[in-house]
Structure formats: C-alpha cells, structure tokens
Amino acid sequence: MLKLSEHTPVFLACGDTDMRKSINGLSALVQHSFKLDPFQKALFVFCNKQRNRIKILTWEDNGFWLHLKRLERGRFKWPTLDDATMALTTEELWNLIQSPGIEQKLRRTQVLKSR
C-alpha cells in the first residue's frame, strides 16, 4: 500500500523513463543517475514517454514496493526537463496521480540536479 505522509520526500524523474525497468533497474537509476539512496524513506516517481503510466518506487522496512498507475484516457502533465530530478511535496504528487489534468502543481523551476 502506498503510504503518503506530508514529510515523505518525493523525487520525480523529469522526462521519460523506460517502463520495462522494474525494481532493480529503477533502483539502479536512483542510485547512479540521481545520486540518491534508493533505500531511504522516499518516493521515486517515473513516467513513460506516452505520459499515460507512472511507476513509484519506495523502500519499506525490508523490501521495495513498486506501484504502477496506467491511465485509460488522458495523459499526466509531466515536466520535460530531460535528465533532471525534481523534488515535490506529497500533496503535489497526490494531485498529479489523482488529477492528470492539473498542470499548475508542476510549474516549478526547482530542479535538484541533472541525471
């Protein structure tokens, strides 16, 4: 189950990610490209090129959770800054997941670093 507390860090992979990657591939991406620890209490969010699927990777106690959401209609509003990582609040992530038409929540210039 996806646990969202207001203090959980959320890191969004800007641009598109190959959705064929599973837990090992995404955790390697977090570690090597983002320069972050995939075992930290955080949510790492990825989107495909068509913007209709997202994956969320998170570590909980003794294992990884991998969450997938596929939209049947519409597209997620996703930042197109290739090779960058963006920090979001859990509220912004929740708005992104629940309302793919909301764009104002992702109009940010705060980018952490390039992948």
Mean pLDDT by 10 residues, the chain (115 residues): 78 92 96 93 94 94 94 84 84 80 49 53
pTM across the whole model: 0.82
Contact predicate 96/77, CB 8 Å = yes
CA angle 113, 29, 70 (to 5 degrees): 100
